[in-house]
Amino acid sequence: MSGFIEGADRGQISLFPERLEDWICGDNPVRIVDVFVDALDLTDLGFDRITSANTGRPGYHPSVLLKLFIYGYLNRIPSSRRLEREANRNVEVMWLMGRLAPDHKTIADFRKLNATAIRKTCAQFVELCRRLGVLKGGCVAIDGSKFKAVNNRDRNFTPRKIALRISLLEQSATRYLEEMARIDRQETRETRIDTVTHLEAKLKRVQAEVHRLNGIAEQLKDTADGQISLTDPDARSMATRGKGTGLVGYNVQTAVDTQTHLIVAHEVTTVGNDRTQLAPMAKAAKAALGLDKLEVIADRGYFNGSQILTCDQAQITATVPRPETSGNRKKGMFVNSMPNVSYGPRLCKNSSLSFLFDRFYRLNFYLWLEGVT
Q: Residue 315 corresponds to which amino acid?
A: Q
Q: Of the spans 17-26, 134-143, 164-173, 289-298, which averages the highest pLDDT?
A: 289-298
**pLDDT (average), residues 117-123:** 90
Q: How many CA atoms lie within 13 A of 260 on its CB side?
A: 16
**E strand map for the chain:** 139-148, 156-157, 228-229, 236-238, 247-257, 263-269, 294-297, 316-319
Q: Of the spans 150-159, 171-180, 191-200, which averages the highest pLDDT?
A: 150-159
Query: CA 328, CA 326: separation in Å to the nearest integer?
Result: 6
Q: What pLDDT, on the 0 to 100 scale, is given for residue 80?
A: 94
Average the pLDDT over each of 127-136, 319-328, 341-350 and give the range with the smallest value. 341-350
Q: What pLDDT, on the 0 to 100 scale, is given for residue 220?
A: 87
Query: CA 264, CA 254: separation in Å to the nearest integer?
Result: 8
Q: What pLDDT, on the 0 to 100 scale, is given for residue 194?
A: 72
Checking if the pLDDT of 184 tops 90, the result is no
Q: Between residues 17 and 132, which one has the greater pLDDT?
A: 132
Checking if the pLDDT of 189 tops 80, the result is no
Q: What pLDDT, on the 0 to 100 scale, is given for residue 345?
A: 43
Domain segments of the chain as ranges: 20-134, 159-226, 236-323+339-369
**pLDDT (average), residues 21-35:** 92
**pLDDT (average), residues 243-256:** 86
Checking if the pLDDT of 212 tops 80, the result is yes
Checking if the pLDDT of 120 tops 50, the result is yes
Q: What pLDDT, on the 0 to 100 scale, is given for residue 355?
A: 46
The torsion angles phi and psi of 267, rounded to 5 degrees, stand at: -155, 140
* Cα separations in angstroms, 3 against 6, 8, 31, 160: 9, 15, 38, 71
CA angle 29, 34, 35 (to 5 degrees): 100
Checking if the pLDDT of 62 tops 80, the result is yes
Please, what is the average pLDDT of the chain? 83
Calculate the CA dihedral of residues 157, 245, 240, 272 and round it to 10 degrees. Answer: 10
Q: Where are the alpha helices (DSSP H) in 138-277?
A: 159-186, 189-220
pLDDT in tens, 191-203: 667 777 777 888 8
**pLDDT (average), residues 247-276:** 91
Please state the separation of Cα 1 from the chain's center in Å: 52
Q: What pLDDT, on the 0 to 100 scale, is given for residue 350?
A: 43
Q: What pLDDT, on the 0 to 100 scale, is given for residue 353?
A: 44
pLDDT in tens, 292-307: 999 999 999 999 999 9
Q: What pLDDT, on the 0 to 100 scale, is given for residue 337?
A: 53
Q: Between residues 305 and 339, which one has the greater pLDDT?
A: 305
User: pLDDT class for 373, splitting at 50, 70, 90?
Assistant: very low
Checking if the pLDDT of 335 tops 80, the result is no
User: pLDDT class for 349, splitting at 50, 70, 90?
Assistant: very low
**pLDDT (average), residues 82-90:** 94
Query: CA 96, CA 34: separation in Å to the nearest integer?
Result: 7
> Do residues 87 and 100 make contact, with C-beta atoms less than 8 angstroms apart?
yes
DSSP class of 28: -
Q: Between residues 346 and 83, which one has the greater pLDDT?
A: 83
Q: What pLDDT, on the 0 to 100 scale, is given for residue 306?
A: 92
Q: Give percent above pLDDT 90 in the chain.
A: 40
**pLDDT (average), residues 100-119:** 93
Q: What pLDDT, on the 0 to 100 scale, is given for residue 347?
A: 41
Strand partners, 317: 295
